[in-house]
Amino acid sequence: MNDELWKAYTHGIAAAIGEGGVHIPSLLLQSYSRVGLSDSEAMLLLQIMLYGQAERNDFPTPEELAERMGVNVRQIGVMLGRLMKDEFLSIDDYIDDVTGLHSERYNWSGWLMKASEWRAKSKRQSKKTDKQPIAMEKSAPASSLFSVFEQEFGRLLSPMECETIVSWLDKDRYSEEIVLFALKEAVFAGKISLKYIDRILIEWSRNRITNADEARAHAGKFHGGRA
């Protein structure tokens, strides 16, 4: 590679890094075809994520999406309709904090929920394949876990909140049982936020607490023996 090509190459890398990017949970890429998404539909969802996270545009128009993907607007409309019909994608109404105006934004938490359902189902099937005895599950499937959080929060979870919960399960390896108990502790303390729940989970991890019984005993020390 000559000097000019090398300069162009390095400048291109620097420009790409400088423009930022989008964080994509690995679970979404691992499962998209298994949950019924085509390559084009998955790419459309990723473009919506990119607009929201890197370009501060939470509700790109079909025209913007069509130009980005190199297809016509009608194709984008058909894909958006299918994604919303099958609950991979939804549209949230909200009041903009800056302008005070009514606005809309795409919400792709449905994709995360379906991917989490696939993950939970795959794990159950893997246990059956290994011919291991299957214990009764104390916790709900991941999609139901989201529902429990939404019930306690009194609102729908944002995509980033769903991603945090998925990260607790997949990256941090917390059990669904322990996550639910941490939520219960946050509700008891009147501090219903993912940051507070994360602090609880970190504290339990440091004390090698891995199930609800151990967490209950640990919490009882701070709540006057509350069971």
Q: Spell out the domain ranges in the chain.
A: 21-109, 138-220
Condensed to tens digits (0 to 9), the pLDDT of residues 18-52 reads 556 677 888 899 999 999 999 999 999 999 999 99
Distance CA 157, CA 61 (A): 23
pLDDT top residue among 73 and 217: 73
For residues 200-222, give the mean pLDDT: 84
CA 193 to chain centre: 16
In the CATH scheme, what architecture does the domain 21-109 have? Orthogonal Bundle (1.10)
Note the pLDDT of residue 223: 59
- Summarised one tens digit per residue, pLDDT across range 98-124 is 788 888 999 998 998 899 888 888 877
- What pLDDT, on a 0 to 100 scale, did the predictor assign at position 142? 55
Q: What is the mean pLDDT of the chain?
A: 81
pLDDT (0 to 100) of residue 13: 42
DSSP letter for 193, please.
S
CATH class of 138-220: mainly alpha
At residue 167, what is the residue type? Answer: S
Q: Summarize the confidence of residues 190-202 as an average pLDDT.
A: 91
The domains spanning 21-109 and 138-220 adopt the same CATH topology? yes
Both tokens of 125, joined, read 């099937």
Q: What is the pLDDT of residues 164-180, one digit of tens each?
A: 888 898 888 888 889 99
Position 97 pLDDT exceeds 70 = yes
> Residue 155, Cα to own-chain centre: how many angstroms?
16
0.75 exceeded by pTM: no
CA separation, residue 195 to residues 108, 151, 154, 168, 180 (Å): 21, 18, 17, 12, 14
Say if residue 217's pLDDT is above 70.
Answer: yes
Segment (H or E) for 89: none
pLDDT tens, residue by residue, 129-165: 555 543 334 444 455 788 888 888 888 777 778 888 8
